[in-house]
Amino acid sequence: MKRKIIKSLSMAGMFLACHAVVFGQTSSDSGSPPRVYTKGIAQLFGCDSHNDILGLITPGTALAVGQADAGNPESDVVRISGWTMEGASSVIYEAPDLRIKLATLSRVPGSCLTIDGSQTDPYGNKWQRVTISGRVEKGGVVADVRTVWRQASKLYAAKCSRCHGLHHPSQFTANQWPGILQTMAKNAGLQEEQKALIEKYLQTHARYEISDDARVQAQKQIKAASCVSG
């Protein structure tokens, strides 16, 4: 019975169940590892060597904090989880259907990579759920992501309202915002780090791509599945 209910979850339900953290919903499970969030674009260093740069993490990305390394007190041992598409594995996204970039990688040693699962989207693209282990500088992260979003909101209001009325983040979907911001960034003269911060803020606070009716139905399905599993 449990298997049938879980299998019947719609794509909308899976969206809500798997990616609630993006929209500010955090787990209350006391057994979960503590999280920190990148303040801006942050370098991801290797899990084996602090001198080995694996890539760049986008602003506001959630990182699970691991056990402290006494040999490197200035950095946090972290894990970042997301999805990579076959043929474009250098980019980690929030989800196959939610093109919010979490990180762009130059290389990842096998010792720092875990493949947690895979799936094929409706367009035939193959995706892998991955977890990357590494390190980030302590000065580049904060414990409360709202700190990041407040800074981003102020910057967005200051830079992107000169030529027109300010678009509300929920006016567009997460997948629409990068293209829209690309034009706005040129007119506003945004620097790379500023653009990355504003883009992540807008995507994270964008409107859902599913209808309200579908979201309500999905929540009912998730609740039913939770009752069965309990």
Is there a domain that residue 210 lies in? no
User: What are the pLDDT digits (tens) for 74-104?
Assistant: 899 999 999 999 999 999 999 998 999 999 9
pLDDT higher than 70, residue 4: no
pLDDT beyond 50 at 11: no
In-domain check, residue 101: yes
- Of the candidates 26, 53, 32, which has an alpha carbon nearest to the alpha carbon of residue 41? 53
**Global pTM?**
0.78
Domain membership of residue 158 (yes or no) is no
From the list 26, 22, 27, 143, the residue with the least C-alpha distance to 76 is 143
Geometric angle at alpha carbon 82, from 222 and 12, rounded to 5°? 30
Q: Residue 68: which pLDDT band, with cuts at 50, 70 and 90? A: confident
Domain that holds residue 46: 28-142
Amino acid (one-letter) located at 27: S
**What does the alpha-carbon distance between residue 44 and residue 48 come to, in Å, rounded to a whole number?**
12
Q: What is the pLDDT of residues 138-155, one digit of tens each?
A: 999 999 999 999 999 999
pLDDT at 203 over 90: yes
Question: Domains in the chain: how many in total?
Answer: 1
Residue 194 lies in a domain: no
**Which of 198, 153, 200, 204 is closest to 20 using CA atoms?**
204
Averaged pLDDT score across all residues of the chain = 81
- Residue 47, in any domain of the structure: yes
Q: Show the CA angle centred on residue 37, arms to residues 36 and 38, nearest 5°.
A: 130
Torsion of the alpha carbons at 26, 149, 139 and 158, rounded to the nearest 10: 180
Which distant-in-sequence residues (6+ apart) come within 8 Å of 28 by Cβ? none
Report whether pLDDT(66) > 70.
Answer: yes
Residue 6 in domain: no
- How far is residue 146's CA from residue 131's CA, in Å, rounded to a whole number? 24
- Res. 210: pLDDT tops 60: no
Report, as an integer, the average pLDDT of 43-48: 91
CB 67 within 8 A of CB 77: yes
Buried residues in 11-45 as b, exposed as e (16+ CB within 10 A): ebbbbbbebeebeeeeeeeeeeeebbbbbbbbebb
109 located within any domain = yes
